[in-house]
Amino acid sequence: MSSADPSTTTADQEGRLARLAARFTAWAERWIPDAYVFALVATVVVVVAAFVVLSGKKPAADAALEVVHLWGTGFWELLPFTLQMALVIITGSVVATTRPVYRLIARLAAVPTTARGAVAWVTFFAMASSWFNWGFSLIFSAMLAREVARRMERVDYRALCASAFLGLGSIWAQGLSGSAALQMATPSSLQPAIRSIVSANGLVPDGIIPLTHTIFLWQSLASVVVELVVITTLMFFAAPSASRARTAASLGIDLGPSPLDAADPPSRHTPGEWLEHRPYLSVAFVALAGTFLVSTFVQAKEPLNALNLNTLNLLFLTVGVALHATPARLMRAVKDATPGIWGVLLQFPLYAGIAALIVKTQLNEHLAAWFVSISTPQTFPAVIALYSAVLGVFVPSGGSKWVIEAPYVMQAAHDLKVHLGWMVAVYDLGEALANLLQPFWMLPVLGLFGLRARDVMGYTFLVFLVLAPLVLVLVTVLGATLSYPL
């Protein structure tokens, strides 16, 4: 009697989700372009759409020139944000590679004992930590995944990378660093005109919606728990078993030594180099920056509202300086982290041009008017979640996109008598879905992993197929339990 074909036996042992994920990944590797090409394609699509809108109002030649002008003037409008995001990557990596923090990462990496369990563990940690802070989660989870890959030879490297990103594709915006919720709770973060719309002649005092009516609604917390359980379970069954995994080595990726094994930079004896290897200047920096951060949070009426990209980056840099102790160690950590930012520097200006066209040609208003026209009070949350996801593919920035959406979403919520705080949560749920379909926010993780967007988007697309209908059900069912206005 002939023995069974080993490959057939292995394939039979794979679950349906794992086989489906493998097919999606193979499709993505064949058809999904690099993230830079994705940004170029999105630019062409939006340029054509903007031209169509403007050509209905003026001669074609004038419309074409205006589109070019709007794109060109908007191209550099995200430069501060670009640097902020580059520093999120660098400072997050600097903290994660300090020996005290990396010892924690190493302990966490030692928890899973199977290939699928490892992917599910990283998924759970990435999502749970993203609720507290998306920037920390993005970098810390990536470092955790890399350490898991070092320790576990037969875990699928692509699935690990995808799992490290899933916090930003799900619950981050419903957490403490959610842009829209923080903007609605902070008086100075939105224009007076938007506050006036939200206020509705004093119905909502000062147009302020506190966090207790957005991310701390029991409905919002329930949706977080549901997403956490569903996606962690999904990734467990979608990850390839050890026998079918594509490891880092098989992909030609050298993970290098663990930061715990790295030797200190060689010490020199010249006066200048002596200072590089002593902690005195680091202590002075930590004292200065620490005093500023403490005073900033103490003086804020709502301490959570003082947490923005600038304070986050300074906080991470200060912790990194303190834990690395000497300037030499810190400089080496920054140098090692810098290659991961090239995609951000190259592509963010393209997305700035896209955002400028969408806003300044009123493309967003045309889309919103159509969605609102087909809504009822019961279906409005699901329609806006879907719209937010669609627009998020082209404007991948939760905070800046909320400035675009808030005026007509809040006005429509008043008109349809829908709970205003829930609509902020609905926006957040839809906004996160877009991150599963386009590689903008994957860039920091991809840079650290040495992978391309096509290597992980098979998994993120599978998560999107499961999560999108789940989100539409959640926003509809949970929204029905809330009353207008707050």
Residue 321 in domain: no
Residue 27 in domain: yes
Record the pTM: 0.77
In the chain, the amino acid numbered 327 is P
**Binned average pLDDT, 10 residues per bin, the chain of 486 residues:** 41 65 75 76 89 90 93 85 78 82 91 93 94 80 92 90 92 82 74 80 88 91 96 93 85 81 68 84 96 90 68 88 92 85 82 80 73 84 90 70 76 88 92 85 80 87 94 95 92
Residue 474 in domain: yes
pLDDT for res 4: 42
Residue 282 in domain: no
Asked if 35 and 439 count as a contact pair (C-beta separation under 8 A), the reply is yes
Provide the domain count of the chain.
Answer: 1
Whole-angstrom distance, CA of residue 363 vs CA of residue 41: 17
User: Could you tell me the residue range of the domain that residue 450 belongs to?
Assistant: 20-262+337-479
Residue 356 in domain: yes
Residue 180 in domain: yes
Residue 165 in domain: yes
Residue 323 in domain: no
